[in-house]
Structure 1
Amino acid sequence: MSITDKIKIALQYAMPKHLLSRLVGRFAAARAGIFTQLFIKWFIRQYKIDMSEAVHEQPGAYKTFNDFFTRHLKPELRPLKTQSGQLAHPVDGVVSQVGSIKDGRIFQAKGHDYSLTELLGGDSDNAKEFTDGEFATIYLAPRDYHRIHMPCDGVLKKMIYVPGNLFSVNPLTARNVPNLFARNERVVALFDTDVGPMAMVLVGATIVASIGTVWSGTVTPPTGAQVQSWSYPASGLNAVQLKKGEEMGHFKLGSTVILAFAKDAVEFDPDLGHRSITRMGEVMASQSA
C-alpha cells in the first residue's frame, strides 16, 4: 500500500465521521439557492453524471442537493429485463464481491471477511436462514442512481437498524479496514420471497446523510446507541408487499447494498463477478432448479 493510501486509511480512523456526515446532511437538505445550484453543477462535472438519464435533466429543477442526489431516472431507461424465475439487479453500481456464505462469514476483500450474524444485527436466528447461502455486495459510487429496488417479489418480515461507525465503503477502505460492513451503521430488511428468505442490507458510510425505506421513510438519522427492530405482518392492511422492480429504499449520498439468500435458492449470472457493472432491472440471478 502506498504512503498516500496509508494516510487516507489513517484519516478514516481519525476523522469525526458522524459529525462530518451530519453536517453534510444539513447542507444537502438545505434550500441554499445559488450555493446549492453551484454545488450540484460542480458535482455533475466532477463525477461526469449523465443528466440525460434523469426525469429532470436541468440542475435548476432541484431545490436541494438531496433532491438532486435521489433523482428519479426515466423509467424507460431501466426496464425490467428479467423473465419468470429470474432476479433483477436492485441498483446501479459495481459488484465488490459475490459468492458463497462460508461458515457464517462473508468475504469482504483479500484477507478480510466478516460475520453474517453481526451484519444482520447480532441475532443468530436471523442469520440461520442464510447458512451456506449466497451473497452479493454492490458498491454505489457518487455518480450512480441511488434509489434501491426489489430484485424479486417480496413480503417484508422485519427491519433492523444497527448503529455503527461511518467508514467510507470505497474499494480502498474495503481492502484495508477489517469487518467494514459489519461495523458501519446499516439498515437490514428481511423478506420472504418466491426464492425463500432474502436479506437486503443498506450500509451507511462517511457523509451518507440518510438511509430511508419506502415503508418507513427516513430510518437514520437520527442515530441510536442500540439495535432496533420492527416486525411486519405477512398479510393485511399493514403488510409491506413489494413487486420485483419496485423501489424499496434510498441513500442520500452513496454507499453499499448487500444481498443474502438461502442455500440452493439462487444461481448468480455466470458473468457476474468482482467489478462487474450492474444496472437496475437487468438479470442478476436465477432461481435454482
Structure 2
Amino acid sequence: MTVRRLISALTQQEDLNFLLTNRIPRAALTRFMGWFSKLEHPLVRDASIACWRMFSDLDLSQAKKAEFLSLHDCFTRELKPGLRPSDPDPSIVVSPSDAIIGAYGAIEDTKLFQVKGAGYSLLDLLGDPALVEAHRNGRFVTLRLTSSMYHRFHAPHDCRIEQVTFIRGDTWNVNPIALKRIEALFCKNERAVIQARLASGLSLTLVPVAAILVASIRLHFLDIVLNAQTRGPSVFPCEADVRKGEELGWFEHGSTIIVLTPDCFEFCENLREGARILAGQPLLRLPG
C-alpha cells in the first residue's frame, strides 16, 4: 500500500479523523500555520509542498506560475488566464469558487442545513435580523473547498457589494465528518458576511467561512485581510461594483462558502450534492 493510500485509509476512519483535525489546539495551530506558510525558504517550501501532495490530490498544472515563493504563495495561487470563464448567460448566477457541492435547498422559514437533519438558523449565521428577512424562505448552496483546490473566489454575478461584516469565532474543521458531529458549526467559526445587491434590487449574500489552518480571508475590494488579529470595526460599509467572474479575494487554505438568495431563484440542473463544480459554472437561475 502506498503512503498516500495508507494516509487516506486512516483519515477515512471518522473517529481518528475527528480527533486529528479537531481535538487539538485549533487556534494556536492556525496561527502557527499562518506564520509557517509564509516562510520564503526553498527547503521549507519544497518539503511542505511535497508533504501536502502526500495528503491530497494537489495538481499545480493549471497554476499561472511554476515556482512559488512559499507554501502560502502556493495556497493562494492564480490560475492561467481563461481557465475559469463565467457562464455568459445574464440569467445565471455562477459558482464563486471551485468546490464540492454540499447541502443545498430551500430555507425553511429561517432554517437551513449543514447536512441532512442538522439544521442551523440564519440569524446565528448572519447576526443581522434585516438580512435574515431578505433571505427568509430563500435558497442556499453550501460550497466546500478542499485543501488542494484553487482557493480564490469570484463574483457570482454583476452586483454591488454594500457591506461586509466580520464575525469572530472558532476554527473547527469543516469537513463532512465534523459537520455531522458539531451542531451549527458554520455559526461557530470565523466568517465574513458579504452583502451584495443585483441591478434588479434582489439580495445576494456570500458567507465565506474560515476553518482550522485557514482563518484568514483576503478581500480585494476592501484591501484587507480578515482574521483573529483583525481590530477595529467588524462592519465595513462599501459600494463596490463588481462584474460576474471578477476576483473578490481568497482563503489561505480550503474552507466553505455559503451562497444565499431570495426564494425566487431556481437551482440549475447541474447541482448534485457531492459533485464538483468550478468557479464560473452555473449555480442558480434568476427569476424571469
Q: TM-score, normalised by structure 1?
A: 0.89
Residue 6 of structure 1 deviates from its aligned partner by 3.1
Question: Does residue 37 in structure 1 map to residue 43 in structure 2?
Answer: no
Identity of aligned residues (%): 28
Describe the shift of the 1:144–1:3 C-alpha distance in structure 2 as closer, same or farther (beyond 3 A).
closer
Q: Distance in 2 between matches of 1:167 and 1:37?
A: 27
Q: Distance in 2 between matches of 1:13 and 1:41?
A: 24
Counterpart pick for 1:175 among 171, 180, 183: 180
Residue 12 of structure 1 deviates from its aligned partner by 5.4
Describe the shift of the 1:271–1:27 C-alpha distance in structure 2 as closer, same or farther (beyond 3 A).
same
Counterpart pick for 2:60 among 27, 38, 51: 51
Report the AA paired with residue 18 of structure 2. Answer: I
- Is the CA contact 1:268–1:284 (under 8 Å) kept in the aligned structure 2? yes
Report the AA paired with residue 28 of structure 1. Answer: S
Deviations 1:27-65 (A, max 9, x none): 011213311122123323542322221111x3xx21111
Question: Does residue 240 in structure 1 map to residue 246 in structure 2?
Answer: no
- Is the CA contact 1:97–1:273 (under 8 Å) kept in the aligned structure 2? no
- Is the CA contact 1:82–1:88 (under 8 Å) kept in the aligned structure 2? no
Describe the shift of the 1:26–1:244 C-alpha distance in structure 2 as closer, same or farther (beyond 3 A).
same
Determine the structure 2 residue equivalent to 1:76. 82
Q: TM-score, normalised by structure 2?
A: 0.90
Question: What does 1:1-289 correspond to in 2, within 5 Å?
Answer: 4-9=13-18, 14-56=23-65, 58=66, 61-120=67-126, 122-194=127-199, 196-216=202-222, 217-223=224-230, 228-232=234-238, 239-264=239-264, 266-289=265-288
Report the AA paired with residue 219 of structure 1. Answer: L
Detail structure 1 runs of 4+ shifted over 6 Å in the superposition.
Answer: none
Q: What do you get for the CA RMSD once the two structures are aligned?
A: 2.1
SS of residue matched to 2:208? strand
- Is the CA contact 2:168–2:228 (under 8 Å) kept in the aligned structure 1? no
Residue 4 of structure 1 deviates from its aligned partner by 4.4
Describe the shift of the 1:44–1:6 C-alpha distance in structure 2 as closer, same or farther (beyond 3 A).
closer
Describe the shift of the 1:178–1:209 C-alpha distance in structure 2 as closer, same or farther (beyond 3 A).
closer
SS of residue matched to 1:77? coil
Count how many residue pairs are aligned between Structure 1 and Structure 2: 276
Report the AA paired with residue 69 of structure 2. Answer: K
Determine the structure 1 residue equivalent to 2:7. none
SS of residue matched to 2:214? coil
Q: Distance in 1 between matches of 2:83 and 2:23?
A: 41
Describe the shift of the 1:261–1:251 C-alpha distance in structure 2 as closer, same or farther (beyond 3 A).
same
- Is the CA contact 2:172–2:185 (under 8 Å) kept in the aligned structure 1? yes
Residue 7 of structure 1 deviates from its aligned partner by 4.6
- Is the CA contact 2:22–2:173 (under 8 Å) kept in the aligned structure 1? no
- Is the CA contact 2:171–2:215 (under 8 Å) kept in the aligned structure 1? no
Q: Distance in 1 between matches of 2:189 and 2:61?
A: 33
Bigger drift between 74-83 and 152-161 goes to 74-83
Deviations 1:232-257 (A, max 9, x none): 2xxxxxx3111000011210011000
- For structure 2, which runs of at least 5 residues remain unmatched after alignment? 1-10
- Is the CA contact 1:159–1:229 (under 8 Å) kept in the aligned structure 2? yes
Bigger drift between 270-279 and 184-193 goes to 270-279
Q: Distance in 2 between matches of 1:140 and 1:10?
A: 21
Describe the shift of the 1:108–1:227 C-alpha distance in structure 2 as closer, same or farther (beyond 3 A).
farther
Q: Distance in 2 between matches of 1:10 and 1:113?
A: 23
Describe the shift of the 1:114–1:209 C-alpha distance in structure 2 as closer, same or farther (beyond 3 A).
closer
Describe the shift of the 1:245–1:42 C-alpha distance in structure 2 as closer, same or farther (beyond 3 A).
same
